[in-house]
Amino acid sequence: MFAQTLEQTERRKAWGFVAPALVWTLAFFVVPFLFMVAMSLWSRQSGQIVRAWNLDNYFAFFEKAALFKGLINSLEITLIVTVLSVLLAYPLAWIIAERVPKRFQRLALILAILPFWTSYVVRSYSWLLVLSKNGVVNQTLMTIGLVSEPLELASNRTATVIGFVHFFVMLLTLTIYANLVQLSPNYRRAAADLGANAFQTFRHVILPLTLPGIMTGAFLTFVLCIGDYVTPQILGGNNELVLPQIIMLQLGRRADFPMAAALSIILMLAVTLAYVLCARWLKIERA
């Protein structure tokens, strides 16, 4: 009897400790999300939000080319960025893990991710300094006489991709390096003993073992890249808008909250789909 009441008071206390965090998450994350789902089923007509429940916003997304193209642009850019970042980051992570002496590895890694700590908005802006018409690259090319007219390097998809790849190469170097240093050197010795050359060892032993690190990093890249507004807005120009830019347009000029909400949910579904695909693929690899 006594023990039970003691347990009950203990449990009540524990609820008291966990409650603030739960209430905060419910009130400012779950409830707003449900509001957004509801909002996406309403519509905006002549400046008023009409609370009539239907899927019109979602149908409009598939019917209006301007909206649908946003998702396609987002997916294309995100895929290019993810693949390029993995391809560029893997060799760097490998060099730091295998070629740099042990005591300098930490330093090399800190250096490799130092520009991470420039302000998010400023990072894209500094690429503008490099790529714009009178920027560093164009001035250099003109000085050495390779081009006579400045090239249009900023305000297009290439600039967006460069800005993104710059950020994600740093991130992926970190995740892949973490994976590489965990591998026991015995794997390589065993492969060599069995007659594998350096390339075969890499292809059949090291690469499959670092696949989890690659996939974690690639998924993170996908999620952060597809949801980003700042980089494409600063570097991408106005020709090929990505989904977050279109969402912000709905909010700004037209104050069309229902449409913005619907597009956000579509964005979220894309991320969920990527997660499902990645998770399944990883599981097959592990078995």
Partner 1 sequence: MRNVLISTVSWVYATLIFGFIFLPVAVLVLFSFQDGRLPVPPFNGFSTQWYAAVFADRKLMAALANSFVVALVSSLIACLLGFLAAYALARHKLPGSALQRGLLIAPMTVSYLIIALGLLTVLNTFGIPLSLWTVGVGHVVINLPLCFAIIYSSMGDHHINIERAARDLGASDFKVMVLVTAPMLMPSILAAFFLSVTFSWDEFIIAFLLSRFDVTLPVEIWSLLRSGLNPKTNAIGSLVFLVSVAALLLLEFTLFRKSGKS
**Stretch of 60-68, 177-185, 188-196, 256-264 lying at the interface with partner 1 (CB under 8 A):** 256-264
CB of 46 to partner 1, least distance (A): 18
**Stretch of 60-68, 69-77, 206-214, 257-265 lying at the interface with partner 1 (CB under 8 A):** 257-265
Residue listed under structure tokens 């949910």 = 265
Nearest to 243 by CA among 11, 72, 9: 72
**55 or 136: CB nearest partner 1:** 136
Rg of the chain taking only CA atoms, in angstroms: 25
CB of 129 to partner 1, least distance (A): 5
| Residue 87 binds partner 1 (CB under 8 A) | no
Beta carbons within 10 angstroms of residue 60's beta carbon: 16
Interaction residues for partner 1, span 107-146 (CB under 8 A): 111-112, 114-115, 117-123, 125-130, 132, 134-136, 139-140
Interaction residues for partner 1, span 206-225 (CB under 8 A): 223
Contacts 24+ apart (CB under 8 A), 254-260: 254/44, 255/44, 256/44, 257/39, 257/44, 257/49, 258/39, 258/40, 258/41, 258/42, 258/43, 258/44, 258/49, 258/57, 259/44, 259/57, 259/60
**10 or 287: CB nearest partner 1:** 10
Full DSSP string of 216-284: HHHHHHHHHHHT--HHHHHHSTTTS--HHHHHHHHHHTS--HHHHHHHHHHHHHHHHHHHHHHHHHHHH
CB of 89 to partner 1, least distance (A): 8
| Residue 260 binds partner 1 (CB under 8 A) | yes
Candidates 178, 249, 268, 282; binder of partner 1 (CB under 8 A) is: 268
Beta carbons within 10 angstroms of residue 257's beta carbon: 17
**Stretch of 7-15, 54-62, 69-77, 207-215 lying at the interface with partner 1 (CB under 8 A):** 7-15
| Residue 58 binds partner 1 (CB under 8 A) | no
Which one-letter DSSP state was computed for residue 28?
A: I
Interaction residues for partner 1, span 157-196 (CB under 8 A): 166, 169-170
Instruction: State whether residue 154 is helix, strand or coil.
Output: coil
Candidates 2, 5, 65, 99; binder of partner 1 (CB under 8 A) is: 99
Candidates 35, 59, 104, 281; binder of partner 1 (CB under 8 A) is: 35
Question: Which segments of 132-229 does DSSP mark as H helices, in order?
Answer: 136-143, 157-182, 185-193, 198-201, 207-226
- Decide: 173 and 92 in contact? Cβ < 8 Å: yes
CB of 211 to partner 1, least distance (A): 21
CB of 138 to partner 1, least distance (A): 9
Go through the chain and tell me how many residues it has: 287
Q: Which two tokens stand for residue 232?
A: 């494409």
CB of 209 to partner 1, least distance (A): 20
Candidates 75, 257, 278, 282; binder of partner 1 (CB under 8 A) is: 257
Candidates 8, 15, 59, 187; binder of partner 1 (CB under 8 A) is: 15
